[in-house]
Structure 1
């Protein structure tokens, strides 16, 4: 008669320890990627991320299929932090006041996102995932602004497009990165642009 052997049950403490170490490694990889981008490395390699996270390169790809998967994780973190700001109800009855409030929100959101969107822009031309995400973000930003602009104002098509351009991330990047303005000066400049454009639109 053949004897039957059974595999001893796994020690729950050992299993929990492995899970915790796995979660810790994954978080260190994400934190390392965000830290590198925040410090000006626009396109860090997997090897560079592994070095910063103090993990092996194989560990990076055990947790993430490719670099786009890390970008997706970072995008989810930023969305959780910033979407409530972007989507909050507006408090004013006058569309101009709502656009000013939207501009103030954009300043806060764009400044937080600046290093990460610059890094994604560098990579998006070789990444269908990041290119698709870029299009979604641009469309959402435009839609949220147009919701605050009444129909009779949208009939001033080019002025409306100018407001959209003034409140686009590319404009914030130009002011902060290319013209090297401080966040405070870039904010003031953005509000000046928006106010001048709104004043140029006549009411019916």
Structure 2
């Protein structure tokens, strides 16, 4: 698993079983003895990466919702930046894996529920504002800003924070 995580962390979106075996210094049979197929290897990687997302679920230091929203924004953006290569690798295989699809859906549901739970009713109940906040706090928005638009992390963070502030304003 460490070999898989290292390869993906270096930007290899779809390392082969041969790549994993070579990095781990083991034979190809060993890789498949530990993991039935590449889907199970990616599923295991997804679970390992998911453990790193646990910091996002820690209790907030603040009791005021806007400060909690700022904490949530900070946690998510920091986590997205750290886990970007792993998320991309998982996304590349999600369409072919029921396990990855289920994990992704579950993660999104938890993140949306956590966001909805900290917002005042006027915002949580406003579909346009809630969906826009959820979008700006998503990995998809972060990846677009960092990848396709080529923004440095600080500039991407400024864009997200500005949009969150606008949507959270009275």
TM-score between both structures, scaled by the size of structure 2: 0.92
Deviations 1:11-32 (A, max 9, x none): xxxxxxxxxxxxxxxxxxx122
Select the structure with the greater relative contact order (CA < 8 A; seq sep ≥ 6): 2
Q: What is the number of residues matched between the two proteins? A: 170
Q: Distance in 2 between matches of 1:64 and 1:155?
A: 44
Which consecutive residues of structure 1, in runs of 5 or more, have no partner in the other structure? 1-29
Cross-structure match for 1:175: 145
Helix, strand or coil for the counterpart of 1:41?
coil
CA–CA separation in structure 2 for the residues paired with 1:189 and 1:92: 23
Superposed, 1:145-184 pairs within 5 Å as 145-184=115-154
The aligned counterpart of 1:79 is 50
CA distance in 2, matches of 1:106, 1:53: 31
Alpha-carbon distance, 1:81 to partner: 3.1
Q: Which residue of 2 aligns with 1:69?
A: 40
Q: Which runs of 5+ in 2 are unaligned?
A: none
1:162 deviates by: 0.3
Displacement after TM superposition at 1:116 (Å): 0.6
State the SS of the aligned residue for 2:150.
Answer: coil
Q: CA deviation at 1:139?
A: 1.1
CA RMSD in angstroms, aligned pairs only: 1.5
Q: Deviations over 1:94-145 (max 9, x none)?
A: 3112111100010111112211111111111111111111111111111111
**TM-score between the two structures when normalised by the length of structure 1:** 0.77
